[in-house]
Structure 1
Amino acid sequence: MSTKTDRELRRILADVLGLKAEQVAAFDADTGLFGHLPELDSMSVAGLLTEMEDRLGFIIDDDEIDGELLETYGSLLAFAEAKRTGE
């Protein structure tokens, strides 16, 4: 079941990385992101995180960003959902 955060995160990934909606729609929790998607490189990470802050309405502290955050779609979604609920 898709949540509002899930749908918006998929739109953000498509917009920031220039991915096709169909490709992003096929992502599951185990879909690899950083190191797996050529579009998601070190330069695009900052843009992705900024868009998440702007469109999802939370602030990401520097100490929250690590390799695991962008490892899979599931880890990024779990992070975004926790931030939106203030946990």
Structure 2
Amino acid sequence: MNIDIDQSLRQILADVLGLSATQVAAFDAETGLFGHLPELDSMSVAGLLTEMEDRLGFIIEDDEVDGELLESYGSLLAFARAKLA
């Protein structure tokens, strides 16, 4: 099963945070997430990580979650790609 991690992650962000497809499509590696998107607050982080686990098929350990993980779209995408590598 070859999934497009980038597209899947964009869909998860749109679904969990209630963002428009247009907004999420404009994200690049430098796009800030936590602290930049009002929709992504401490309550929505858990939902986002749970959806990533469910849809992408990996487990995120507590010690893997830090500020850098959610700093930018690029860092989150790199994390997801590394988990699936």
Unmatched tracts of structure 1, length 5 or more: none
Ranges of 4+ aligned residues in structure 1 off by more than 3 Å: none
Aligned length: 83
Pairwise CA RMSD: 0.8
1:20-46 superposed Cα distances (whole Å, 9 cap, x missing partner): 000000000000000000000000000
| 2:23 aligned counterpart, secondary structure | helix
1:35 aligns with 2:35: yes
Give the fraction of aligned pairs with identical amino acids, expressed as a percent: 82
| AA matched with 1:68 | E
Structure 2 residues not aligned, in runs of 5+:
none
Query: For residues 36 and 12 of structure 1, what CA distance do their matches in structure 2 show?
Result: 17
Paired position in structure 1 for 2:15: 15
**Structure 2 partner of 1:56:** 56
- TM-score by structure 1 length? 0.94
Instruction: Please report the TM-score for the alignment, with normalisation by the length of structure 2.
Output: 0.96
